[in-house]
Structure 1
Amino acid sequence: MTPEVSVVVPTFRRPALVVEAVKSALSQADEGVRVEVLVLDDSPEGSAREPVLALGDACVRYVKRDVPTGGNPATVRNEGWPLTRGRYLHFLDDDDRAAPGAYRALMHALDTHPDRGVAFGRVAPFGDDAEVLARQTAYFEDAARRARVAQRLGSRRWMVANMLFRPTVLVNSACLIRRELLPRVGGYDTRLPLVEDVDFYLRAIRRAGAVFLDRVVLEYRTGAPSLMHNERDASKAVSAYRLIHERYRREWGAAEHTALKLATRTVLRWL
């Protein structure tokens, strides 16, 4: 039987964590969702092979990539999704977990909004470092608040403005996307060293719109902070966002880009 949701999981030397991620995807069948999971191992030694195959589930396929990317999940995701069959795609990071019932809720959101291409929901962080956990919890609570506001305003451009000019309202693993949208979007941009998920879903939402679910769909593992918490990563993030903004101006026009920037400063900052 054809799966409804195809889950693409790139992994690199996280054998125990990737099993947790895969199990969280498989558990969505408890809500009657037909799921297939593709694990793409980007480690030279195939670190995830044994634990993933030990699951013994016919819905799980393991692939060891021939040439490791050296840390470019965008490349792995782009290779993975054409190997799947589901009408919806979930790109799940190997240290995250799909929340119980997430796929059913996200599928329902897209089924009832056939004009939208992406559905995403709230994120629940978890982890052992209390300080990091508190910071991430506050961040995602604010992200959910801003996503609610953007949805009430009723235009995909409000959601895009939040992603261009404010801290992003979503993360990669919190989204479900229609398969037919992938060729239109062009996949993940492999040039971006960071925030490639923000870029990918920004482009998808600008083209096809989004539905925000005010319920937890993702359990997000926190740990030692890395993204933009040191000078090297901050520099990479600045470079990545520069490319994102350049492309937006090229594809949608400098006038729209400027209008969204002004709206962020005058309207969204108060919401």
Structure 2
Amino acid sequence: MTPDVSVVVPTFRRPALVVEAVKSALSQDGVRVEVQVLDDSPEGSAREPVLALGDARVRYVQRDVPTGGNPATVRNEGWPRATGRYLHFLDDDDRVAPGAYQALAHALDAHPERGVAFGRVEPFGDDAQVLARQTAYFEDAARRARVAQRLGSRRWLVANMMFRPTVLVNSACLIRRELLPVLDGYDPRLPLVEDVDFYLRAIRRAGAVFLDRVVLEYRTGAPSLMHNERDAKKAVSAYRLIHERYRREWGALEFTALRLATRTVLRWL
């Protein structure tokens, strides 16, 4: 039978963590799941622990040429092989919350006019200070997502993603598979915030539904691109590309209006 959710998991030298991530996807109730693990390490660090799961729903792929840290490229190799109605791009250090796939899939089933469903993020980790900061961040992100949902405008949500700290992360979203060719997948030019760009484009085109429930357990404190402050300049360059494309696709007038709204109305919401 056709899977409900196809899960694409890029991984790089996190064999124990990726197994946790995969198990969290496989344990979802009420949905049919298939999982691809795309190993971006030259030595195939995840091969043995992933194959040891012995689950026919899991496919392990060792990439021929490692990207050196470009998850957009890795994800773009995974989604054309997906067969599920919906896709979930799961980072290898995150965990899907119990019941998340069923809730997100039902939300998209109930709103066939919308392309993306996402929900709240619950951080976890050993560093109390980092955990407190991340918890506060995601609580504010959920608050702003609720406001955007009440307003009923995808542009308000897009404005939050372009001009304020994003209201979502990659692993907190489910997207309709038929949107991927339209979007041409992730932008491999972006070594950072490629998930913000991808879901921003998807939401502007097809809308989103926000679930006010935890769908993702987000690991804090693990080394990653976005936890490295030295990459701040790369993030600025990435947002510049995002803004340039938005102006080109949706017009300078809309772009300017959203930026002004962010500086005036949205900052109070």
- Displacement of 1:211 after TM fit? 0.3
Q: Is the 8 A contact 2:192 2:226 kept in 1?
A: no
Q: How many angstroms apart in 2 are the aligned matches of 1:228 and 1:53?
A: 29
Query: Which stretch shows the higher mean deviation, 220-229 or 44-53?
Result: 220-229
Q: Is the 8 A contact 1:227 1:234 kept in 2?
A: no
Q: How many angstroms apart in 1 are the aligned matches of 2:216 and 2:118?
A: 9
- Displacement of 1:193 after TM fit? 1.5
Q: Which runs of 5+ in 1 are unaligned?
A: none
Q: Deviations over 1:10-65 (max 9, x none)?
A: 0000000000000000001xx22100000000000000000000000000000100
- The answer to whether the aligner puts 1:122 opposite 2:120 as a matched pair is yes
Cα 1:134–1:67 shift into 2, 3 Å: same
Q: How many angstroms apart in 1 are the aligned matches of 2:66 and 2:191?
A: 15
- Displacement of 1:226 after TM fit? 5.9
- Displacement of 1:225 after TM fit? 6.8
Q: Is the 8 A contact 2:10 2:74 kept in 1?
A: yes
Residue of structure 1 in register with 2:17 after alignment: 17
Q: Is the 8 A contact 1:119 1:177 kept in 2?
A: yes
Q: Is the 8 A contact 1:173 1:218 kept in 2?
A: yes
Does the residue aligned with 2:27 lie in a helix, a strand or coil?
A: helix
- Displacement of 1:230 after TM fit? 5.5
- 1:194-233 correspondence runs (5 A): 194-223=192-221, 232-233=230-231
- Displacement of 1:264 after TM fit? 1.0
Q: Is the 8 A contact 1:117 1:205 kept in 2?
A: yes
Q: Is the 8 A contact 2:124 2:217 kept in 1?
A: yes
Does the residue aligned with 1:100 lie in a helix, a strand or coil?
A: coil
Q: Is the 8 A contact 1:132 1:224 kept in 2?
A: no
Cα 1:36–1:225 shift into 2, 3 Å: closer
Q: How many angstroms apart in 1 are the aligned matches of 2:228 and 2:141?
A: 22
Q: How many angstroms apart in 2 are the aligned matches of 1:15 and 1:39?
A: 11
Instruction: Report percent identity of matched pairs.
Output: 91
Q: How many angstroms apart in 1 are the aligned matches of 2:13 and 2:213?
A: 31
| TM-score, scaled to structure 1 | 0.97
Q: How many angstroms apart in 2 are the aligned matches of 1:230 and 1:98?
A: 24
Q: Is the 8 A contact 1:121 1:174 kept in 2?
A: yes
Q: Deviations over 1:240-269 (max 9, x none)?
A: 000000000000000000000111122111
Q: How many angstroms apart in 2 are the aligned matches of 1:35 and 1:228?
A: 28
Cα 1:130–1:90 shift into 2, 3 Å: same
Q: Is the 8 A contact 2:71 2:191 kept in 1?
A: no
Q: How many angstroms apart in 2 are the aligned matches of 1:231 and 1:198?
A: 18
Q: How many angstroms apart in 1 are the aligned matches of 2:43 and 2:85?
A: 32
Q: Is the 8 A contact 1:10 1:41 kept in 2?
A: yes
Q: Is the 8 A contact 2:116 2:209 kept in 1?
A: yes
Q: Deviations over 1:174-226 (max 9, x none)?
A: 00000001111111000011000000000000000000000000000000576
Residue of structure 2 in register with 1:8 after alignment: 8
Q: How many angstroms apart in 1 are the aligned matches of 2:117 and 2:222?
A: 29
- Displacement of 1:164 after TM fit? 0.6
- Displacement of 1:169 after TM fit? 0.2
Cα 1:234–1:152 shift into 2, 3 Å: same
Cα 1:108–1:228 shift into 2, 3 Å: closer
Q: Is the 8 A contact 2:37 2:61 kept in 1?
A: yes
Q: How many angstroms apart in 2 are the aligned matches of 1:88 and 1:108?
A: 11
Does the residue aligned with 1:51 lie in a helix, a strand or coil?
A: helix
Query: Which stretch shows the higher mean deviation, 6-15 or 230-239?
Result: 230-239
Q: Is the 8 A contact 1:15 1:51 kept in 2?
A: yes
Q: Is the 8 A contact 2:10 2:75 kept in 1?
A: yes
Q: How many angstroms apart in 1 are the aligned matches of 2:165 and 2:145?
A: 11
Q: Is the 8 A contact 1:226 1:233 kept in 2?
A: no
- Displacement of 1:232 after TM fit? 2.9
| Number of equivalent positions | 269
Does the residue aligned with 1:244 lie in a helix, a strand or coil?
A: helix
Does the residue aligned with 2:38 lie in a helix, a strand or coil?
A: strand
Q: Deviations over 1:143-176 (max 9, x none)?
A: 0000000111111000000001100000000000
Q: Is the 8 A contact 2:72 2:191 kept in 1?
A: no
Does the residue aligned with 2:69 lie in a helix, a strand or coil?
A: coil
